[in-house]
Amino acid sequence: MSREAADTTTSVLRSVVETGTGTAAQAAGRPAAGKTGTAEDDKAAWFAGYTPELATVVAVMGQDPESGAQEPLYGALGQPRVNGGGVPAEIWGAFTREALDGTPPGTSSSG
C-alpha cells in the first residue's frame, strides 16, 4: 500500500472517531482512527481502532449461556441495542487510555 493510500485511509477513519459513529473512542485521549461495526441481527458489535502506537479491536458477542447459540445483543449491558459506536468504542477508549498511560501521543503524517 502506498503512503498516500495509507494516509488517506487514516484520514477517513479519524473522521469516524472525531465526528462519526465512533466518537466514544475519544476517551482514549489521543489522536485515533477506527471503524465501528454491527453484525446482522445485532448479534455482535465491534470497534477496530488505532493510534500511532497501538492497534486494538474490541468485539462484543451475544451468546446464550446454556446452548452457546449466538443471540442478538438487545438488552445486553442494560442497553436497548448494542452497536459498535457504543459499548465497544467505549471499552476501546478506556483500554487504549490505560494501555498507553505514560506514553506520549505520537503524531501521524496525515495530520
Domain span at 30: 3-99
Tell whether 56 is covered by a domain.
yes
Q: Is 11 helix (H, G, I), strand (E, B) or coil?
A: helix
Q: 105 lies in a domain?
A: no
Residue 26, SS3? helix
To 10 degrees, the CA torsion angle through 84, 88, 92, 93? 80
Tell me the whole-structure pTM to 2 decimals. 0.89
Secondary element (H or E) of residue 59: strand 55-61
- When divided into structural domains, the chain yields a total of 1
In a domain, residue 108? The reply is no
- Residue 58: is its pLDDT beyond 90? yes
> 65-94, pLDDT tens digit by residue?
999 999 999 999 898 999 999 999 999 999
Contacts of 8 (CB under 8 A, 6+ apart): 110
